[in-house]
Structure 1
Amino acid sequence: MMEVKTRPRTAQTLREALEDDIAVGRYPPGSRLDEVTLATRFAVSRTPIREALIELSVAGLVEIRPRRGAFVRDIGISRLVEMFQVMAELEAMCVRLACRRMTAEEQAVLVAAHEACILAADQQTPDDYFHANERFHEAIYAASHNGFLAEQARALQNRLKAYRRLQLRVRNRVKGSLAEHQAIVDAVLEGDAEKAENVLRSHILIQGERFNDFVASLDGAKASLLS
């Protein structure tokens, strides 16, 4: 029987917990996410559960059907890879523009976000690293000074949030992520748009060994649920 959590949870915390559960297959595609059951599991009222489900719906992980409830959408591996490919191009465009347009203050924000990532990695706090990583990428979106492009990047980032977080659990991925962040920061501060674009594109893409590790992490997480 699943242990009921007794500490207070916000809608954001609930959303992240459900994102993880969906990403690792605890709730397979087509599963109905019952508000009452979830409220009991997390020891909260139905209100924050409902808010979390609405956020997941906006992110594209959940479909809310009138008078029927919320259901997990089916996002296959091939679809995920396609989404990561588009994400890589969007972020590459953002950093290319940021190299030309960002202010000294925006550069400082990017460096501070990178330093927060380093601190979280040193302290081995994966959730803190993930949130610092989000701030790092958000700094690049904002510095592009292209509102529409930033909106599209944020929207797709939200849809991939669960899987981007899961990627960071792959062995040595955080270390690799930090090295890539450093290369991005260096290129941005040097004003080398081409280098920044190429490094960031590779940073987002899941291919080759990273793709195999990512799929293995999904399979491993699912297997642990069944053991």
Structure 2
Amino acid sequence: MIASSPRSASDGAPDAPAGRPHTTRAEELRVQIADEITRGQLPPGTTLDETALAARFGVSRTPVREAIRELAASGLVDTRPHRGAVVARPSLERLKAMFEVMAELEALCAGLCATRITPPERHALEMLHAEMGDLMRQGDFTAYRERNEAFHAAIHAGAHNDYLAELASGTRHRLSPFRRAQIGALGRLALSHQEHERVVTAILRGDREGAGQAMREHISVVHDAYEAYTQSL
């Protein structure tokens, strides 16, 4: 299993650096446990004992319970009365359905963004994409994944439809363990940036159809990359 980093018994996460989203301790735990599940270190059927996990990570059971709840929403954990939490894994059919929905939501966001994005938002998106290019060339997977969330959030915001942004963000969050797993595959970082380039170019041109199609293809590749990743375990 992945060793937990030294941390005090406090449940609170340290302040996030300027310009970076604040991450709660429950979110950190969710990411760590999800990584272990998608890497096969916690196989299906493994019991997730809240007390044992709290002791392992040096926290109370509250953030552990929240992390398990989030993992259950992603389909990585099955919670049943009197049985506790058990590692599960959604079927390939279920994952395909989830990625299909995310592809359409993200494509709609990108298309609307192409026609509604404001000049300041355009500039911010360009700068963010350029920053991710630098991270890609440095091979900084961790930072690239973090900025990738900001990239998609910027497109959601540029669509100027709060309800759509809520649906797209929620679906991305549920699929985040599977998206995270595939980004470390050989060559995937460069390909991801190339896919983003096509999305950004279409948005900046005001090409609604092109932006939507480029985003749809991007999410389809992410799904295919995750399937290839699971077959390599």
TM-score (norm 1): 0.84
Q: Which residue of 1 aligns with 2:114?
A: 99
1:32 paired to 2:47? yes
Mapping 1:184-199, distance limit 5 Å = 184-199=199-214
Residue 6 of structure 1 contacts residue 43 of structure 1 at CA under 8 Å; is this kept in 2? no
Name the residue aligned to 1:220. Answer: 232
3-state SS, counterpart of residue 170 of structure 1: coil
Q: Which range moved further: 26-35 or 172-181? A: 26-35
Change in Cα spacing, 1:69 to 1:112, as seen in structure 2 (3 Å) is farther
- List per-residue Cα deviations over 1:124-182 (Å, max 9, x = no partner): 22111111111111111111111221111111101110111111112111101111111
Partner of 2:95: 80
| Distance in 1, Cα, partners of 2:174 & 2:206 | 30
Task: Tell me, yes or no, if structure 1 residue 153 matches structure 2 residue 168.
Answer: yes
Partners of 2:174 and 2:57 lie apart in 1 by 23
Q: 1:100–1:191: 8 Å Cα contact kept in structure 2?
A: yes
When residues 179 and 216 of structure 1 are mapped into structure 2, their CA distance, relative to the original with a 3 A threshold, is: closer
TM-score with structure 2 length normalisation? 0.82
In structure 2, the CA distance between the partners of 1:6 and 1:178, relative to structure 1 (3 Å rule), is closer
Q: Are 2:179 and 2:226, in contact at CA under 8 Å, matched by a contact in 1?
A: no
Number of residue pairs matched by the alignment: 217
Percent of residue pairs identical = 41
Alignment-derived partner of residue 26 in structure 2: 11
Q: CA deviation at 1:113?
A: 2.3
**Secondary structure at 1:205's aligned position in 2?**
helix
152 and 29 in structure 1: CA distance in 2 versus 1, 3 angstrom threshold: farther
Contact kept? 2:2, 2:32, Cα under 8 Å: no
Does the aligned pair in 1 maintain the 2:139–2:189 contact within 8 Å?
Answer: no
Change (3 A) 1:14 1:153: same
Deviation at 1:7, TM superposition (A): 1.3
**Structure 1: 5+ residue runs without aligned partners?**
222-227
Gap runs ≥5 in structure 2: 8-12, 14-24
Deviations 1:5-34 (A, max 9, x none): 351272222111111122223333443211
Q: Contact 1:59/1:155 (CA < 8 Å) preserved in 2?
A: no
| 1:94 match: secondary structure | helix
- The answer as to 2:59 corresponding to 1:44 is yes
Maintained 8 Å contact 1:113/1:133: no
Q: CA RMSD in A?
A: 2.3
